[in-house]
Amino acid sequence: MHAQPGDWLIVEGGANRGPTRRGLIEEVHSPDGSPPYLVHWSDTGHRALTFPGPDSYVLSSVQLHEREQRAAARFAALRDELSDPTPAAAAISEPDATA
């Protein structure tokens, strides 16, 4: 794993570990970009010297922004699909009166 200041450390949550965490890498303490990193965690506001585990990865600010844009677009499409009052959607939700 290699990073530079301004990159984001992502720690994937799991079923038993809680939500995914994001932290801004503020300092890299090795010349080759390997850990440890001083990370400013977005969920708590705390800063900590971090040695990332196997459930972690680094994204640049651009990569993180692109990922968030794709997720927002998927969410909007799903929201629009679920709120679409088309006859097909109504037929699925209403019982057949002729049966």
Note the pLDDT tens digit of each residue in 75-88: 888 888 888 766 55
pTM for the structure as a whole? 0.74
Identify whether the C-beta of residue 72 lies closer than 8 Å to the C-beta of residue 17.
Answer: no
CA 51 – CA 95 distance, rounded (Å): 56
Q: Specify the pLDDT at position 80.
A: 83
Note the pLDDT tens digit of each residue in 10-53: 999 866 778 889 999 999 999 999 999 999 999 999 999 999 99
Residues 6 or more apart whose CB falls under 8 angstroms from that of 33 comprise: 2, 3, 4
Burial, 64: exposed, middle or buried (Cβ in 10 Å; 0-12, 13-18, 19+)? Answer: middle
What's the rounded mean pLDDT across residues 90-95? 55
Q: What is the largest CA-CA distance in the chain?
A: 74
Strand, coil or helix: what is 57?
strand
Helices (H), the chain: 61-82, 87-93
CA 64 – CA 81 distance, rounded (Å): 26
